[in-house]
Structures are given as C-alpha cells and as structure tokens.
Structure 1
Amino acid sequence: LKVMSKMGISTYQSYCGAQIFDAIGLKSDFVQKYFTGTATLIEGVGLDEIAAETVSRHTDGFGDDPVLRNSLEVGGEYMFRMRGEAHMWSPDAVATLQHAVRQGSWDTFKDYSAQIDSETARAQTIRGLFKIRLAEETGRKKVALDEVM
C-alpha cells in the first residue's frame, strides 16, 4: 500500500508509530498510557467511559431488546440513519446543497448555509464551540475580498 502525501509517496509502514495525529476527545492520562507521546489538547472520555460504552454495546448485541434482535444499531457518523447520531449532514442539508449547486442558486445556497450554521449544527463540531469575532470587535481592519488568495 502506498500513500500520497504532501511529502511524496510513502509506504504504509512508514506511517506506523509516526504519531502524526492528535487525539481529540480523550482524557490526557488515557492518551499518555495507551498512546504515549500523542498530542491531545481537547479533553474528553477516559477508560471508564470507554469501558461503559463497550459494555453497553455488548448488552445491545446479546440482550433482549426486540428492536435489536436481528441487527444492531448502525450509528450514523457520516451517513444519515433513522436511529443514528445527530450530525450536520442531514438529508435536508444535503438536498438543499445539491439543489443550490444544480440550480446555481445563491438564495438556495444561503438556505443551506443557514442550516449548517444553525445552533444545532454548530454544537456538533469543534469549530462550533468557538465564537468567531469580527475584525471590528478585535480592533483590526477588514481584509478586502479581492486581497484574499
């Protein structure tokens, strides 16, 4: 397996143990013990929470819930699922974006942007936890759009 990167073509093995990523959403002590040397700036769950989730999934798989008797929950991280996790890429948001692009409609794109920028959607991203301040709020000058590359 070869991987293309900005540094060229490398074999998969060259990435093993390279620690070229950050752990997001894991407690520092957990990362230090099980992923020694990996950077982690955003805290989250630790071994207790991971163990509880594992036990919960095992219970779902071998329990008596009639809804889960023939198949387990599939989640929904990237693809919408009726009982999956909430995420920004809802069927409505995707359909609105597709309509905007196909029609070349700025107004429909603004509708899509409003859906993605809503409080609910922003709460589902790390970026959504930050408040973006305007240049005027920080005493800086705006950059003209034609100066942006």
Structure 2
Amino acid sequence: MTDFFRQKFAQVTNPPIDPLREAIVMSLETCCGAELNVFKATPEHAHRLILTTPVLSPRKFTALVSQDDPAFASHTLSLGYDPEQQSLHQALKALCAEAEAQVRAGKVILVLTDAELAKGLIPIQAALAVGAVHSHLGRLALRPNANIVVETGYARDAHQMAVLFGVGATAVYPWLAYQVMADMHRIGELTGNPADGRENYRKGLQKGLFKILSKMGISTLASYRGSMLFEAVGLSDEVMDLCFVGMASRIQGAGFAELQMQQALLAKDAWTPRKGISQGGMFKYVHGHEYHAYNPDVVMTLQAAVQEGSYTKWKKFAQLVNERPVATIRDLLKLKPAETPLALEEVEPIEDLLPRFDSAGMSLGALA
C-alpha cells in the first residue's frame, strides 16, 4: 500500500536539515495521552507517557496497552473483516464508527491490529485504516483525545513507517518483523542476543525516519505526524476522500475494489499450505517476479553493445527498453504527432537557441 506514496521534499539544492550533523535539533520523542487546552497550564498537562521512539519494542508495546490508569485506557480494534459480508469500503466505515464510539466512551489509546486473523478474514491495509480513523476523528474534533497505535505486520522499513506516521499514527509496533527476526535467530541465520538485534533494527528505522523528516526541513516527529506530506500516485478519489484528506493524487488508479482484491489474493496464497513464501523480487531481481528496469538482460545487452561497438546489439538493447512492460509513468505516455507537420524552414536553428541558455541562475552546488 505504501508504494502508492511518494515522499515530498523541500525544493532547495541543499538539505534543509542535515540529520547527522544537526542531530541535536531532531527528535522522535512521542507523547501518549489526551491533549489538553494549550492556553492553560495545569498539573494534568504533565500527565503523559513519553516514548523516546515511536517504533515500539515488544516490552514497551505490552506496557503501553496494559496501563491501569484511565488516562491511558486502551482498546483494540481488529483490522480483519469478512469479504463475504462486507466490502473494504464498508469495513473502513465500520472501523471509523467503532473508533469514534470508543473515544467518546473514554478510551485514549486505540490499537489497530492485523495480528492473529482467522481464516476467511482479510486485513484492511494499515495505511488505509490509520488515515481513515485519523481523518474521521479529526472531522469530529476528537483526534486530540486519542492516540492511534498500529500493531501491523506490514510496516518493515523506514518509508512504510513514515507513511503510517504521516497519515496519523502515534506509534507503530511491527510485530511481524520481530517474529521474523526471532525465527532467524532460531535457525541460526542471525547470531548474538535477540534483544540487541531488535534494538539495532529500531535504530536503523530511526535513522531512516530522521532522513525522511530532514528532507522536508522538519526536525520533530510531532510536526510530521498527520501532515500528509506525500503525493499519491495511482489511487482513486474515493480512496483519497475517505482515507487521505488533503493529499494530492493527480493520477487516478486503484479504488477500494482493487485494493480489496489485492488483499484477497495475498490471503489466498497465505492459506495455501503447499505454496512456499515468495520473496517477490521487489528489491532484488528475481526471474519471473517483479519487473526491474535495470534487469540483467538490459544491463548485459548495453554493456555488450558499448564494448563491441555493435549497432545490432544496440538495437536489441533499445528494443528491450522500448518494448518493456509498464514500469514507470512515462511508459504510459506516447508522442502525439501534429495534424499538420511544421515546415522545416520554420524550425529555429540551434545556433539561435544556444545563446538563450543560462545556467547562472542555478546553484553551483547542484552541479557538483
């Protein structure tokens, strides 16, 4: 789901904030508890739980959701739904209604979880659920009264975490990542103390989050949370209007029906015992899986054409690129020939064009 989102960044030629050299001004500190009137100062304003990082460890997650203090009362909302009984759109509406009811009943920490789903249920994508609940509570002026904690198996890397925080999550507990790490320790693929491994994993995520925040000149996660600082590519207006209010989506695409179908296909594979787990080839090229623009055939053909000076192999390389499946937005575009061709003598010669080129207005740092 997070692959639909492109991170925004400040349009300058140098980084707005250097997350390494200016780390002293950056913070991922997260407060849990209802937000009170900012124009008054009372002892109750200090009654908050402080998290040094929004990526929760198993121990912190357990402690957070088991508080006896009514100021941090929690309620768990399952993201699973039966596609035979309701659609994804209906499930999101029901989730928002339940979240509203729990907040009005005094619950402060809402835990959205896709863990322990029974067979026959499919999960609402975590980003959709967080965005819908965040926007719904915001419209009702209830969002300051609640925190949204996401217990999800989907979020694994910094971008996926950033999307969840950007659409309104307070904290994230990546349960599947921890289970995978535990299994890798069990079979010997990872060595050392498992607790140290989880800590290193969280440190890596935190550095990634710092880098994402710094690209927009934002120094604290509190300023990034709920900011919707993304541009959606390929999501329909029905999804944006319900789940990602205020975020731009200039290119239409998948609606609730398509997103539900994707989850149904994943669930079908997950509940087929004889079918092994596929790595998918998203990051590393795997034959027969995700298409890569720079796949071995393209790279090797280009190298052979250059090294041998063979125009025949160059044409083969061009064919591989020009006739590839859709991999980028530009693959969906084509040149539209003019109805009446322009006379060649009306085309301005290159000698007249070059004097108008000027690079002095660009920062030299961008050219370094």
Structure-to-structure mapping, 1:124-139, within 5 angstroms: 124-133=327-336, 139=342
Instruction: Compare CA radii of gyration and give the structure with the larger one.
Output: 2
Could you tell me how far apart the structure 2 residues matched to 1:40 and 1:28 are? 7
1:41 alignment partner, SS class? strand
Q: 2:280 aligns with which of 75, 89, 100?
A: 75
Q: Which amino acid aligns with 1:131?
A: K
User: Structure 1 residue 124: deviation in Å?
Assistant: 3.1
Which fold has the larger relative contact order, with Cα–Cα distance below 8 Å and residues 6 or more apart in sequence? 2
TM-score, reference length from structure 1: 0.67
User: Structure 1 residue 55: deviation in Å?
Assistant: 2.1
Could you tell me how far apart the structure 1 residues matched to 2:303 and 2:320 are? 13
Q: Which amino acid aligns with 2:260?
A: A
1:58 is aligned to 2:259: no
Relative distance call for 1:124 and 1:137 in structure 2 (3 A) is farther
Q: Which amino acid aligns with 1:85?
A: E
User: Structure 1 residue 61: deviation in Å?
Assistant: 1.5
User: Structure 1 residue 15: deviation in Å?
Assistant: 4.6
1:116 is aligned to 2:325: no
Could you tell me how far apart the structure 2 residues matched to 1:42 and 1:99 are? 37
* Partners of 1:136 and 1:142 within 8 A in 2: no
In the other structure, the counterpart of 2:250 is: 41
RMSD, aligned CA: 3.7
Relative distance call for 1:46 and 1:141 in structure 2 (3 A) is same
2:233 alignment partner, SS class? strand
1:57 alignment partner, SS class? helix
Could you tell me how far apart the structure 2 residues matched to 1:109 and 1:135 are? 29
1:88 is aligned to 2:293: yes
1:141 is aligned to 2:347: yes
1:13-44, Cα deviation, whole Å (9 max, x unpaired): 35544434321111111012111111112111
Could you tell me how far apart the structure 1 residues matched to 2:292 and 2:227 are? 31
Relative distance call for 1:111 and 1:15 in structure 2 (3 A) is farther
Relative distance call for 1:32 and 1:96 in structure 2 (3 A) is same
2:253 alignment partner, SS class? strand
Relative distance call for 1:114 and 1:82 in structure 2 (3 A) is closer
Relative distance call for 1:33 and 1:39 in structure 2 (3 A) is same
Contiguous gaps of at least 5 residues in structure 1: none
What is the percentage of aligned positions where both structures have the same residue?
Answer: 27
Could you tell me how far apart the structure 2 residues matched to 1:130 and 1:142 are? 26
Relative distance call for 1:63 and 1:22 in structure 2 (3 A) is same
Q: Which amino acid aligns with 2:296?
A: P
1:60 alignment partner, SS class? helix
* Partners of 1:75 and 1:81 within 8 A in 2: yes
Q: Which amino acid aligns with 1:126?
A: I
Could you tell me how far apart the structure 2 residues matched to 1:21 and 1:142 are? 40
TM-score, reference length from structure 2: 0.31
User: Structure 1 residue 136: deviation in Å?
Assistant: 10
2:232 alignment partner, SS class? strand
Paired residues, what number? 139
Q: 1:8 aligns with which of 16, 19, 36?
A: 16
Could you tell me how far apart the structure 1 residues matched to 2:225 and 2:314 are? 41
Contiguous gaps of at least 5 residues in structure 2: 1-8, 18-213, 360-368
Could you tell me how far apart the structure 2 residues matched to 1:143 and 1:36 are? 48
